[in-house]
Amino acid sequence: MAQNFAHGNYSHTQKKARNGGGGRTPRDRARRTLSQNFLVDRHAVELMVKAAAPEGLVLEPGAGEGALTLALAEAGARVVGYEIDPLLAGKLAARARRDPRIDVVRGDFTAARAPREPFAVVGNIPYSVTSKIVDWCLRAPAMTSATLLTQREYARKRTGDYGRWSLVTVESWPWFSWRLGDTIGRESFRPVPAVDSAILRILRRPEPLVRGRRSYQELVELGFGGVGGSVRASLKTRFQGVDAALAAAGVARDAVVGHVHPDQWIMLWERLCR
């Protein structure tokens, strides 16, 4: 069943995929504007479903042509697929109209109200709105996990795979774990994007690792503020006992913020804020 929802615009600037044809059709241009790179590799779909282990309610941003939507339903999930392209949403709704496990919403996923019941998010999402979708997921109180197919560079940055940690990951770490999954090559999509993708898993922890959300996030934001060029210099602008806390957490006195592991931030919070 198709539902109308708040429409938005997914703009995406991406290198043009090489092709042997001539000019672009209006449909080709629409796909480019909406950042549409459809997952056409069955094995890649299977890897997404395996990583997500779907059950219960699943929200899918960017349902597109429905390859992942149908696979999630076949795996036992109750799927609400969001698609901003009215033509694609209509086609998918018609395709799934006899399947009670699937609802199709015509509109912008990031404008949706999060369900109150526990749910997961699974999707091959547009590169251009990755951060917006991730932020939506982190704010949803009932979200249990997010399994997102993102640009590989983004997934590596958020999971510390470059040996550095980002503010988004560190700030959310007491409540969510971040895991890097399988790489999905660019050849698994049509049109072919300019870069490879990877599966990013964000899982809500059964119990938070800290109890003081505001004090923890203020500590992290201060550390990432960049005052003095090191974590030590930044924290010393507000806290006493910083050197002892750094030593207890195993953080070097000259450590730059990106090299401090999220678990070490929790130790710093326990020493400085509790």
pLDDT per residue as tens digits for the range 29-43: 444 444 579 999 999
Backbone angles phi, psi at 169, to 5 degrees: -70, -50
Quick count: other Cβ atoms within 10 Å of Cβ 33?
13
Question: DSSP for 127-156?
Answer: GGGHHHHHHHHHH-TTEEEEEEEEEHHHHH
Task: Give CA–CA dist 159/104, Å, rounded.
Answer: 31
Report the distance separating Cα 148 and Cα 201, nearest Å: 7
pLDDT of residue 35: 56
Nearest to 268 by CA among 204, 227, 201, 218: 218
Prediction pTM value = 0.87
The number of beta carbons lying within 10 Å of the beta carbon of residue 104 is 26
Chain segment 128-183, per-residue pLDDT in tens? 999 999 999 999 999 999 999 999 999 999 999 999 999 999 999 999 999 999 99
Binding residues: 37, 39, 62, 83, 108, 124
- How many Cβ atoms are within 10 Å of 210's Cβ, its own excluded? 18
Per DSSP bridges, beta strands 143-151 and 197-204 are: antiparallel
Tell me the per-residue pLDDT of 64-102, one tens digit each, with 9 for 90 and over. Answer: 999 999 999 999 999 999 999 999 999 999 999 999 999
Mean pLDDT of the chain: 89
Distance (Å, whole) CA 103 – CA 93: 7
pLDDT value of position 274: 84
> Cis (ω within 30 of 0) for the bond into 174?
no
Flag whether pLDDT at 18 surpasses 90.
Answer: no
Which residue positions form the known binding site for S-adenosyl-L-methionine?
A: 37, 39, 62, 83, 108, 124
